[in-house]
Amino acid sequence: MFTLKESLVQHIQSIISQARDNAIRSVDTHRVLMYWQIGKAILEEEQEGNERAEYGKFIIKSLSEKFQPKFGTGFSIRQLEMNRQFYRLFPNTNALRSQFSWTHYRTLIRIDNPNKREFYIAEATKNNWNSRQLERQVNSQLFERLLLSNDVHSVLAVAKEDKLPTDAREIIKDPMMLEFLGLRREAAYYEKDLESAIITHLQDFIMELGNGFSFVGRQKRIHLEGDEYFVDLVFYNRLLQCFVIIEMKTTKLTHQDIGQLQMYVNYYDRYEKQEYENPTIGILLCTDKNDAMVKITLPENNNTIIASKYHLYLPTEQQLIEEVKREIEKMEQSSATESIAS
């Protein structure tokens, strides 16, 4: 009696899945082009009417009344306005990305700031983000978080790979958004719970960390003359060409925590790092931190220890904007104090 080989079943199943995926991508590619062409037609007709606002509203309203009953919500007033904006922002088909679905573009169209939109286009292309990942990064204010310790030109240059990052702050965010861990804010939990949740959602965590990270290990043992220590998480960043050590604290950061992380960083620099590699970076992931304490605890020229707050939920856009403003104000006040002191 014959039996069907499981390898054959899996092979044919992969062929079917690939064909279906290709068909879906093909349909969405044609849909993107259709919306682009509709937007082009609307805008060109508006220009014939000298771009009068009333005439533009009349065109979109009339087209919606004519086509929505026949073709559905794809021809609503809101959708047609989005088509027009789509063409206005991407007037050349060469600027369209083949891997972007209409859902990608719908998220990008809502971004008013050209630099911000350019950043997300570059990051989504480079990292092959699906539409959900792009939307999450926009909603978590990734661009604004990176701007806290960088200027716009530097952020865009790294995103577009015009330059390699030379400082960890160019790719590591503060704060970090860890809502994907599923840990409740009101529940009591320990460092080991946070660590286990990160390991379970490692792919999402690496995406939140930034570009170029790969996982090395958890609870890495360090032995120093009879004493044992364990590093929470160890990563390697191929762009920065260095080890990245992460220690987690579910309480407010103390100077003792910083000292412990500094010891781990020193150990990796002296016993693990190769000559061609850059100095090890340490990240203290904490629920709260006193920036002044962090700054005074570390050497003035420190660029290897970073303290980053984490959130277990995605704040609203307004909450994130307010937090970014507070961080910028603290940085400005700190700079002003240093100027007066000098």
The reported pLDDT for the residue numbered 60 is: 87
CATH architecture of the domain covering 173-313: 3-Layer(aba) Sandwich (3.40)
Q: Which residue has the tokens 């959900």?
A: 132
pTM, two decimal places:
0.79
Buried b / exposed e across 232-261, counting CB within 10 Å, b at 16+?
bbbbbbebbebbbbbbbbbeebbeebbebb
- pLDDT band at residue 336 under the 50/70/90 scheme: low
Q: What is the pLDDT of residue 18?
A: 79
Mean predicted lDDT score pLDDT of the chain: 85
CA distances from 127 to 45, 148, 208 (A): 37, 22, 12
Contact 317, 177 (CB under 8 A): no
pLDDT of the residue at 211: 87
Name the pLDDT band for 148 (thresholds 50, 70, 90): confident
Nearest-5° angle of CA 323, CA 248, CA 195?
115
Question: How far apart, in whole angstroms, are the C-alpha atoms of residue 17 and residue 23?
Answer: 10
Residue 44 tokens, joined: 């060109």
Taking residues 75-80, report their average pLDDT.
Answer: 90
Give the up-direction half-sphere exposure of residue 232: CA atoms within 13 A in the CB hemisphere. Answer: 25
Question: Which pLDDT score is estimated for 187?
Answer: 65
pLDDT digits (tens, 9 = 90+) for 226-280: 899 999 999 999 999 999 999 998 888 888 888 899 999 999 999 999 999 999 9
pLDDT of res. 57: 83
pLDDT above 60 for 340: no
**pLDDT value of position 132:** 94
Domain borders along the chain are 7-96, 97-170, 173-313
